[in-house]
Amino acid sequence: MRMNDSSLFNDEQRKTDSRPPLGEELLPPVEQPSARFIIQLFVVPALIVIMIVSVWLAFNWLVRSTEQDPQQLIQGIEQGPNVARWQRARELADLLQDKRYPEFRQSHKAASELARMLNREVDQAQMAEEDIAFRKYLVRALGEFDVEEGTDALLKAAKTNRDPADQKVRDAAIQAIAVRVYNLSKLDPPVQLTTPELAPTLLELATDTDPVIRFQAAYALGHLGTPAAIKQLQVMVDDPDAGTRYNAAIALAHRGDVMSIDTLAEMLDMSEQAGVRNETDEGKPFKRTVIIVSAIDAAHALARQNPKANLTPIISALEQIASADKETLRKSNVSPRVVADAKVALGLLKSGK
C-alpha cells in the first residue's frame, strides 16, 4: 500500500522527535543583559571599592590631622603629666626620623631643651623601668638633631654608669652619637662635631669592661674616623668580644685598612661560631647570615679603597662557602642564600673589580 505525503511527513517528524537534542539546543536562548545584571556585576563592586578607599583616606587624614609636631611633643614631655613620659619621648624620637622635619632637626633651641631634660634626668638617677626608658628615648631623639647642641649631654649619658640598668641608656647614647656624627657628615657641606670631649670619651668607652659598650663604641669610632679613632679600631679588631672586633673590622675595611683582613676572614669562616654563641638555635642562621653579608660588603669596600691589599684569607673563606654542600651549611649555621653572594664576591674580588 502506498503511503501518502502526509504519512511520510509524520514519519520524518517522529524520527526527529525521537533523536536526542543537539548541544546548541541545550543552551538557553541568548538574551540582552538587563540593567539589574549590569549593576550587580560592575556598579556595586565599584561602589564597594570607592567606599573602602574613602574610609582609608579619611582615616589617614584623621591620623595626620591629630598628629603632634615635634615642638608640641617636646612641650608635652616637659609640661604634661609624668605618666607615660617615655611614650611621648619615643614618639618624638620616631618622628624626628621622618624626612618631613629636616629644618626642625637643625633647631638649636629644641636640641638645647632636650639636652637640659636629659641632664636633669641623668642627675636625678631614677632607676625605675619607666625612668630608664624615658632617658633612653630622650637620647635617641637628641641624636637625630643635626646641630652641636646636646652632644655634651649625650656624652654624659654614655659615661654615666651607676647601676646595671644604666647600660640601656649608655648603649642608646653611644648609638645616638654615632647617628649624629654620620648625619652631619652627609650634609652639604659636611659638618664635623667640635665638642672637645667627643673623641676622648669614645676612646675611653672603647676600653669599657662591658662588651656591649665596646661594641657600640667601635661603631661610633668608625663614623668619627679621626686618626686616633682609626688607631683604636686597629686595636679593637683583636677584642675578646666577637661583635666588637667585627664592628672594628668593618669600619677599618671601609677605609681601606688591611688590619681588617684577618677579622673579615674570621667572619666568613665556616667553622667560626663566636658571633652566634649567645643566639638561640632558631636565631643562629639569621645572625650568621648578617655577619657573612656584612663581611662580604666590607671586603668589597676594602678592595675598592685599597686595590693592592692582599685578600687571600678572605678569598679562601669565600671559596669554602661557595663550595659547601647543604649539610655542611646546616651544621655551620650558614643559610644557603649566602652561597650565591659568596660566588659573586669571589668573581669580583678575583677580577680586581
For the whole prediction, is pTM greater than 0.75? Answer: yes
Confidence grade of residue 35 (pLDDT, cut at 50, 70, 90): low
pLDDT of residue 17 exceeding 70:
no
Rounded mean pLDDT of the chain? 85
Residue 135's CB: how many other CB atoms inside 10 A?
27
pLDDT more than 70, % of the chain? 80
Higher pLDDT, 121 or 284: 121
Q: Which three cell numbers stand for residue 227?
A: 686618626
pLDDT of residue 52 exceeding 70:
yes
Q: Which three cell numbers stand for residue 97?
A: 626620623
Lowest mean pLDDT among 15-24, 121-130, 206-215, 317-326: 15-24
**Quick one: pLDDT at residue 277?**
82
pLDDT in tens, 242-264: 999 999 999 999 999 999 999 99
Cα separation of 225 and 234, whole Å? 12
Judge contact between 92 and 134, C-beta under 8 A.
no
Lowest mean pLDDT among 50-59, 113-122, 304-313: 50-59
Q: Which three cell numbers stand for residue 242?
A: 666577637
Lowest mean pLDDT among 34-43, 137-146, 183-192, 204-213: 34-43
Cα separation of 117 and 49, whole Å? 49
Grid-cell match 604634661, residue found? 80
**Quick one: pLDDT at residue 100?**
84
Q: Which three cell numbers stand for residue 187?
A: 650634609
Amino acid identity of 174? I
**Quick one: pLDDT at residue 61?**
38
Mean pLDDT value across residues 314-331: 93
Grid-cell match 624626612, residue found? 99
Find the length of the chain: 353
Q: At what angle do helices 312-323 and 284-305 cross, to 10 degrees?
A: 140
Judge contact between 152 and 117, C-beta under 8 A.
no
Confidence grade of residue 146 (pLDDT, cut at 50, 70, 90): very high
**Quick one: pLDDT at residue 195?**
94
Query: Measured at the alpha carbon of residue 312, what is the angle toward residues 306 and 316, in degrees to the nearest 5?
Result: 135
pLDDT in tens, 97-110: 887 888 899 999 99
